[in-house]
Amino acid sequence: MPEPRPLLRPDTLLYIYYIEGVIPAHQPIAADHYLGNWVEDDFSFLFFTRPAHEKVVQLLAHFPGRRLLDEYQMTYAQWQGGTVEPVRIGRFLLNPTWIKASPGENEVAITIDSGVVFGNGMHTTTQACLEAIDIACAGNKVQSMLDLGSGTGILALAAAKLGCPRIIAVDYNYLAARTARQNVALNQLDDRILVVNGRAEEHTAIATDLLVANIHFDVMKELVRTEGFLRQKWFILSGLLGSEAEKILEFLVTQPVLILKRWNQDDIWHTILGITRS
Protein backbone atom coordinates (compact mmCIF):
# COMPACT_ATOMS: atom_id res chain seq x y z
CA MET A 1 0.00 0.00 0.00
CA PRO A 2 1.42 3.44 -0.92
CA GLU A 3 2.50 5.90 1.72
CA PRO A 4 -0.32 8.22 2.90
CA ARG A 5 -0.24 11.52 1.07
CA PRO A 6 -0.35 14.81 3.03
CA LEU A 7 -3.79 16.01 4.10
CA LEU A 8 -4.95 19.09 2.21
CA ARG A 9 -6.48 22.30 3.53
CA PRO A 10 -8.43 24.95 1.58
CA ASP A 11 -5.38 27.25 1.33
CA THR A 12 -2.94 24.49 0.27
CA LEU A 13 -1.35 25.40 -3.06
CA LEU A 14 -1.52 22.75 -5.76
CA TYR A 15 0.96 22.54 -8.62
CA ILE A 16 -0.59 20.58 -11.48
CA TYR A 17 1.33 19.29 -14.51
CA TYR A 18 -0.77 18.41 -17.56
CA ILE A 19 0.90 15.73 -19.69
CA GLU A 20 -0.01 14.36 -23.09
CA GLY A 21 0.32 10.59 -22.86
CA VAL A 22 -0.11 8.13 -20.02
CA ILE A 23 2.28 8.05 -17.11
CA PRO A 24 1.40 4.82 -15.25
CA ALA A 25 -0.80 5.75 -12.27
CA HIS A 26 1.29 3.61 -9.93
CA GLN A 27 4.60 5.13 -11.11
CA PRO A 28 6.58 6.00 -7.95
CA ILE A 29 7.81 9.59 -7.66
CA ALA A 30 10.24 10.21 -4.82
CA ALA A 31 8.98 13.48 -3.37
CA ASP A 32 7.16 14.10 -0.11
CA HIS A 33 5.17 16.88 -1.84
CA TYR A 34 3.84 14.54 -4.56
CA LEU A 35 0.09 13.92 -4.25
CA GLY A 36 -0.67 11.58 -7.12
CA ASN A 37 -1.37 11.05 -10.78
CA TRP A 38 -4.84 11.27 -12.30
CA VAL A 39 -4.93 9.37 -15.61
CA GLU A 40 -7.78 10.27 -17.96
CA ASP A 41 -7.93 8.78 -21.47
CA ASP A 42 -4.52 9.56 -23.03
CA PHE A 43 -3.55 12.30 -20.58
CA SER A 44 -1.99 12.44 -17.12
CA PHE A 45 -2.23 15.08 -14.42
CA LEU A 46 0.52 15.09 -11.80
CA PHE A 47 -0.24 16.89 -8.52
CA PHE A 48 2.30 18.38 -6.10
CA THR A 49 2.16 20.79 -3.17
CA ARG A 50 5.40 22.49 -4.21
CA PRO A 51 6.80 23.46 -7.63
CA ALA A 52 8.11 20.36 -9.40
CA HIS A 53 8.84 21.39 -12.99
CA GLU A 54 12.36 19.93 -13.05
CA LYS A 55 11.22 16.67 -11.44
CA VAL A 56 8.47 16.31 -14.04
CA VAL A 57 10.93 16.99 -16.89
CA GLN A 58 13.25 14.31 -15.47
CA LEU A 59 10.34 11.88 -15.26
CA LEU A 60 9.30 12.50 -18.87
CA ALA A 61 12.82 11.63 -20.04
CA HIS A 62 11.99 8.02 -19.06
CA PHE A 63 8.73 8.02 -21.07
CA PRO A 64 9.40 8.82 -24.75
CA GLY A 65 6.42 10.27 -26.59
CA ARG A 66 4.93 11.98 -23.52
CA ARG A 67 5.17 15.74 -23.29
CA LEU A 68 4.30 18.49 -20.83
CA LEU A 69 1.38 20.49 -22.25
CA ASP A 70 0.79 22.97 -19.46
CA GLU A 71 1.17 23.60 -15.74
CA TYR A 72 -1.22 25.24 -13.33
CA GLN A 73 -1.18 26.64 -9.81
CA MET A 74 -4.30 27.00 -7.67
CA THR A 75 -5.50 26.49 -4.12
CA TYR A 76 -7.13 23.26 -3.05
CA ALA A 77 -10.41 25.15 -2.54
CA GLN A 78 -10.24 26.40 -6.14
CA TRP A 79 -9.58 22.88 -7.41
CA GLN A 80 -12.65 21.62 -5.55
CA GLY A 81 -14.75 24.47 -6.94
CA GLY A 82 -15.24 26.60 -3.83
CA THR A 83 -14.95 26.61 -0.07
CA VAL A 84 -14.83 23.10 1.38
CA GLU A 85 -17.11 23.03 4.43
CA PRO A 86 -19.04 20.40 6.40
CA VAL A 87 -21.98 19.15 4.33
CA ARG A 88 -25.27 17.76 5.63
CA ILE A 89 -27.06 15.34 3.29
CA GLY A 90 -30.13 13.77 4.83
CA ARG A 91 -28.88 12.51 8.17
CA PHE A 92 -25.26 12.22 7.02
CA LEU A 93 -22.73 14.83 8.11
CA LEU A 94 -19.64 14.94 5.88
CA ASN A 95 -16.73 16.64 7.63
CA PRO A 96 -13.47 17.70 5.96
CA THR A 97 -10.37 16.78 7.94
CA TRP A 98 -9.80 20.30 9.30
CA ILE A 99 -13.36 20.87 10.62
CA LYS A 100 -15.27 18.52 12.88
CA ALA A 101 -18.84 19.79 13.08
CA SER A 102 -20.78 18.03 15.82
CA PRO A 103 -23.47 15.66 14.59
CA GLY A 104 -27.01 16.25 15.75
CA GLU A 105 -29.35 13.63 17.13
CA ASN A 106 -29.52 10.60 14.79
CA GLU A 107 -26.94 12.15 12.45
CA VAL A 108 -24.12 10.01 11.08
CA ALA A 109 -20.73 11.78 10.89
CA ILE A 110 -18.17 10.82 8.23
CA THR A 111 -14.71 12.33 7.76
CA ILE A 112 -13.85 12.85 4.09
CA ASP A 113 -10.54 13.88 2.60
CA SER A 114 -11.22 13.87 -1.13
CA GLY A 115 -7.64 14.83 -1.97
CA VAL A 116 -7.45 15.78 -5.64
CA VAL A 117 -10.20 13.29 -6.55
CA PHE A 118 -13.64 14.75 -7.11
CA GLY A 119 -16.11 13.36 -4.59
CA ASN A 120 -16.76 15.55 -1.57
CA GLY A 121 -20.49 14.79 -1.46
CA MET A 122 -21.73 17.84 -3.32
CA HIS A 123 -22.79 16.08 -6.54
CA THR A 124 -26.51 15.34 -6.75
CA THR A 125 -25.91 11.68 -7.65
CA THR A 126 -23.90 11.18 -4.46
CA GLN A 127 -26.69 12.78 -2.45
CA ALA A 128 -29.36 10.56 -4.02
CA CYS A 129 -27.22 7.47 -3.41
CA LEU A 130 -26.81 8.39 0.25
CA GLU A 131 -30.58 8.68 0.62
CA ALA A 132 -31.06 5.34 -1.15
CA ILE A 133 -28.44 3.66 1.05
CA ASP A 134 -30.22 4.95 4.15
CA ILE A 135 -33.45 3.34 2.88
CA ALA A 136 -31.80 0.02 2.00
CA CYS A 137 -29.87 -0.22 5.27
CA ALA A 138 -32.91 0.36 7.49
CA GLY A 139 -33.40 -2.51 9.92
CA ASN A 140 -29.80 -3.75 9.59
CA LYS A 141 -30.77 -6.14 6.80
CA VAL A 142 -27.79 -5.17 4.63
CA GLN A 143 -24.87 -7.26 5.87
CA SER A 144 -22.75 -7.04 2.71
CA MET A 145 -22.31 -4.40 0.02
CA LEU A 146 -20.53 -3.92 -3.29
CA ASP A 147 -19.68 -0.28 -4.12
CA LEU A 148 -18.70 -0.01 -7.79
CA GLY A 149 -17.07 3.21 -8.96
CA SER A 150 -16.41 4.09 -5.33
CA GLY A 151 -14.42 7.29 -5.93
CA THR A 152 -13.40 8.73 -2.58
CA GLY A 153 -15.36 6.00 -0.76
CA ILE A 154 -18.22 8.14 0.57
CA LEU A 155 -20.96 5.60 -0.15
CA ALA A 156 -19.03 2.67 1.30
CA LEU A 157 -18.28 4.72 4.41
CA ALA A 158 -21.94 5.66 4.79
CA ALA A 159 -23.08 2.03 4.64
CA ALA A 160 -20.38 0.98 7.12
CA LYS A 161 -21.43 3.73 9.52
CA LEU A 162 -25.02 2.44 9.26
CA GLY A 163 -23.84 -0.99 10.39
CA CYS A 164 -22.98 -2.93 7.23
CA PRO A 165 -20.03 -5.12 8.30
CA ARG A 166 -18.68 -6.35 4.93
CA ILE A 167 -18.08 -3.97 2.03
CA ILE A 168 -15.97 -4.18 -1.09
CA ALA A 169 -15.34 -0.80 -2.75
CA VAL A 170 -14.05 -0.93 -6.34
CA ASP A 171 -12.65 1.81 -8.57
CA TYR A 172 -10.72 1.44 -11.80
CA ASN A 173 -8.86 4.70 -11.20
CA TYR A 174 -5.74 4.03 -9.13
CA LEU A 175 -5.71 7.48 -7.49
CA ALA A 176 -9.40 7.19 -6.52
CA ALA A 177 -8.78 3.78 -4.94
CA ARG A 178 -5.81 5.13 -3.00
CA THR A 179 -7.89 8.09 -1.78
CA ALA A 180 -10.70 5.76 -0.70
CA ARG A 181 -8.22 3.65 1.30
CA GLN A 182 -7.07 6.74 3.14
CA ASN A 183 -10.65 7.70 3.96
CA VAL A 184 -11.36 4.21 5.26
CA ALA A 185 -8.37 4.58 7.59
CA LEU A 186 -9.43 8.11 8.65
CA ASN A 187 -12.80 6.72 9.74
CA GLN A 188 -11.23 3.62 11.38
CA LEU A 189 -13.30 1.28 9.22
CA ASP A 190 -10.52 -0.97 7.90
CA ASP A 191 -12.25 -3.96 9.46
CA ARG A 192 -15.41 -3.35 7.41
CA ILE A 193 -14.27 -2.00 4.03
CA LEU A 194 -11.88 -3.52 1.51
CA VAL A 195 -10.88 -1.15 -1.31
CA VAL A 196 -9.97 -2.73 -4.66
CA ASN A 197 -8.37 -1.09 -7.71
CA GLY A 198 -10.13 -2.88 -10.57
CA ARG A 199 -12.94 -2.99 -13.13
CA ALA A 200 -16.47 -2.72 -11.77
CA GLU A 201 -18.06 -5.22 -14.15
CA GLU A 202 -15.59 -7.92 -13.10
CA HIS A 203 -16.83 -7.96 -9.49
CA THR A 204 -20.58 -8.64 -9.75
CA ALA A 205 -20.02 -12.38 -9.31
CA ILE A 206 -19.84 -11.60 -5.59
CA ALA A 207 -23.38 -11.98 -4.20
CA THR A 208 -24.23 -9.20 -1.76
CA ASP A 209 -27.22 -7.67 -0.01
CA LEU A 210 -26.65 -4.32 -1.75
CA LEU A 211 -24.94 -3.29 -4.95
CA VAL A 212 -24.28 0.43 -5.46
CA ALA A 213 -22.99 1.67 -8.80
CA ASN A 214 -22.56 5.41 -9.35
CA ILE A 215 -20.70 5.02 -12.59
CA HIS A 216 -20.46 5.90 -16.30
CA PHE A 217 -23.25 4.64 -18.55
CA ASP A 218 -20.82 2.74 -20.79
CA VAL A 219 -19.88 0.61 -17.77
CA MET A 220 -23.41 0.50 -16.33
CA LYS A 221 -25.03 -0.95 -19.47
CA GLU A 222 -22.61 -3.87 -19.34
CA LEU A 223 -22.77 -4.24 -15.57
CA VAL A 224 -26.56 -4.87 -15.47
CA ARG A 225 -26.11 -7.58 -18.10
CA THR A 226 -23.53 -9.54 -16.14
CA GLU A 227 -24.64 -12.89 -14.75
CA GLY A 228 -23.90 -11.73 -11.22
CA PHE A 229 -26.14 -8.65 -11.28
CA LEU A 230 -29.22 -10.67 -10.34
CA ARG A 231 -27.33 -12.20 -7.40
CA GLN A 232 -27.55 -8.84 -5.62
CA LYS A 233 -30.62 -8.38 -3.37
CA TRP A 234 -30.84 -4.58 -3.49
CA PHE A 235 -29.32 -2.33 -6.14
CA ILE A 236 -28.73 1.40 -6.51
CA LEU A 237 -27.81 2.60 -10.01
CA SER A 238 -26.75 6.22 -10.44
CA GLY A 239 -24.68 8.64 -12.51
CA LEU A 240 -27.21 8.38 -15.36
CA LEU A 241 -28.49 11.14 -17.60
CA GLY A 242 -32.15 11.02 -18.70
CA SER A 243 -31.80 9.02 -21.92
CA GLU A 244 -29.26 6.71 -20.27
CA ALA A 245 -31.60 5.99 -17.37
CA GLU A 246 -34.39 5.13 -19.80
CA LYS A 247 -32.17 2.64 -21.64
CA ILE A 248 -31.22 0.97 -18.35
CA LEU A 249 -34.88 0.80 -17.29
CA GLU A 250 -35.90 -0.63 -20.67
CA PHE A 251 -33.53 -3.50 -19.99
CA LEU A 252 -34.49 -3.92 -16.32
CA VAL A 253 -38.20 -4.40 -17.15
CA THR A 254 -37.15 -7.60 -18.94
CA GLN A 255 -35.49 -8.88 -15.76
CA PRO A 256 -36.90 -10.24 -12.46
CA VAL A 257 -36.46 -6.98 -10.58
CA LEU A 258 -38.73 -4.48 -8.84
CA ILE A 259 -38.02 -0.74 -9.06
CA LEU A 260 -38.78 0.84 -5.68
CA LYS A 261 -37.86 4.48 -6.21
CA ARG A 262 -36.37 6.87 -8.76
CA TRP A 263 -34.63 10.17 -8.22
CA ASN A 264 -34.65 12.77 -11.00
CA GLN A 265 -32.56 15.70 -9.80
CA ASP A 266 -32.80 18.96 -11.75
CA ASP A 267 -34.18 16.87 -14.64
CA ILE A 268 -30.56 15.89 -15.37
CA TRP A 269 -29.18 13.16 -13.11
CA HIS A 270 -31.11 9.97 -12.38
CA THR A 271 -30.79 7.35 -9.64
CA ILE A 272 -32.65 4.03 -9.42
CA LEU A 273 -33.32 1.94 -6.30
CA GLY A 274 -34.59 -1.61 -6.75
CA ILE A 275 -34.56 -5.20 -5.57
CA THR A 276 -34.13 -8.48 -7.45
CA ARG A 277 -36.77 -11.21 -7.35
CA SER A 278 -34.72 -14.12 -8.60
Average pLDDT over residues 229-256: 96
pLDDT tens, 164-175? 999 999 999 999
pLDDT for the residue 4: 60
| Distances from the Cα of 190 to the Cα of 24, 143, 160, 180, angstroms | 27, 16, 10, 11
CA separation for the pair 150, 115 (Å, rounded):
14
SS3 assignment, position 183 = helix
* Cβ neighbour number for residue 31 with a 10 Å cutoff: 12
pLDDT tens, 94-144? 998 888 889 888 899 999 988 888 777 778 899 999 999 999 999 899 999
Half-sphere exposure at residue 272, Cβ-oriented, CA atoms within 13 angstroms: 25
Q: What residue spans define the domains of the chain?
A: 13-79, 119-276
Radius of gyration of the chain (CA): 19
Average pLDDT over residues 262-267: 85
CATH number (3.40.50.150, 3.40.630.30, 3.40.50.261, 1.20.1250.20) of 119-276 reads 3.40.50.150
CATH number (2.20.110, 3.30.70, 2.60.40, 3.80.10) of 13-79 reads 3.30.70
Q: Whole-prediction pTM value?
A: 0.89
Question: 159: closest CA among 203, 200, 118, 214?
Answer: 214
Cβ proximity of 152 and 114 under 8 Å: yes
pLDDT tens, 5-56? 667 888 899 999 999 999 998 898 988 899 999 998 899 999 999 999 999 9
pLDDT for the residue 1: 47
CA separation for the pair 34, 21 (Å, rounded):
19
Cβ proximity of 122 and 87 under 8 Å: yes
Q: Which amino acid is at 9?
A: R
